Amino acid sequence: MTEPVEISGADLGAEQQAIRYELATLSFRLVDGPKAVGGVLPWVTAPGAHGELLGCWQAENGTLGRLFVLRGFTGQAELDEERQRARASCAPFGGDAFLTDLALRSYAPFPFVPPVRPGKYGPVYEIRDYHLRPGGLPATVAGWRTALPARHRIDPLTVAMYALDGPDRIIQIWPFASLDERLAIRRDLYADGRWPPPGAPEQILDADSVIALPTAFSPLA
């Protein structure tokens, strides 16, 4: 397993804070799963494509027939170019008749969270989506700054990021060796008072959690 990068809670440099992420959600009929998976890698590595593929996962709970594709970009301009490529395509992510929906959402990392580093951390990933009350982001980031370094040492984070468009939202992605490990870690963290971050739960209006497994070509595995 790749060792996680340390998180101190201190803000990173401007270059790292300029990183942008896109989390694409591809929806498809269950029977078309292999086609949906097969279209991702050719799309993100095609001539003229921008950004770096970081993760590709298939939903294992909740609404099935979904792929989550995480890519990193050096800045907003590169992300915008890639977004335009998708919008101008008749078959983004290689999808033609078999994609039933495609959601492209842009995010910036919390200012103290290092860039995503590919490696073997899973194979079970949890993608948590928090819809915050309006104006709830600053208190959320402040709480995470305080609590995350200690949690990260025993439960390494993949990424925590906030939405750049739409309602105030944060996305957090956590890897686990198994579902049993996830339950045990969360139970111990709550019992010891090391989680949740101070002041952060009060900002959440609603929350969603997806358990997802990496595809064969996912850099985050």
pLDDT tens digits along 177-208: 999 999 999 999 999 999 999 999 999 999 99
- Average pLDDT in the 1-29 region? 92
- Average pLDDT in the 204-214 region? 98
d(CA 114, CA 134): 26
**What is the fold, at CATH topology level, of the domain defined by 14-214?**
Alpha-Beta Plaits (3.30.70)
pLDDT tens sequence across 44-75: 999 999 999 999 999 999 999 999 999 999 99
pLDDT, greater one: 2 or 100 = 100
Domain-wise residue ranges, the chain: 14-214
- Look at residue 3 in the predicted model and tell me its pLDDT: 74
d(CA 90, CA 87): 8
Q: Where are the alpha helices (DSSP H) in 49-136?
A: 76-87
Q: How many of the other CB atoms lie within 10 Å of CB of 195? A: 19
User: How far is residue 179 CA from its own chain's centroid?
Assistant: 18
- Look at residue 5 in the predicted model and tell me its pLDDT: 82
Lowest mean per-residue pLDDT among 4-13, 28-37, 47-56, 60-69: 4-13
- Average pLDDT in the 85-93 region? 96
CA within 13 Å, CB half, 42: 10
d(CA 44, CA 53): 7
Q: Quick check: 2 pLDDT over 80?
A: no
Q: Quick check: 94 pLDDT over 80?
A: yes
d(CA 174, CA 163): 18
Regarding pTM above 0.75, the answer is yes
d(CA 202, CA 122): 30
Rg of the Cα atoms in the chain: 17
Q: Which of 177, 89, 189 lies closest to 126 in space, CA to CA?
A: 177
- For the purposes of burial, counting CB atoms within 10 Å of the CB of 77, is it exposed (0-12), middle (13-18) or buried (19 or more)? exposed
- Look at residue 28 in the predicted model and tell me its pLDDT: 97
- Average pLDDT in the 24-44 region? 97
- Residue 146: its H or E element: helix 137-154
CB–CB of 128/207 below 8 Å? Answer: yes
- Eight-class DSSP state of 114: P
Q: Which of 79, 89, 44 lies closest to 165 in space, CA to CA?
A: 79
Q: Quick check: 1 pLDDT over 70?
A: no
Q: Chain-wide mean pLDDT for the chain?
A: 96
d(CA 127, CA 113): 16
Longest dimension (CA), the chain: 51
pLDDT tens sequence across 128-146: 999 999 999 999 999 999 9
In the structure, what pLDDT confidence band is assigned to residue 40 with cuts at 50, 70 and 90?
very high
d(CA 184, CA 190): 10
Q: Quick check: 176 pLDDT over 70?
A: yes
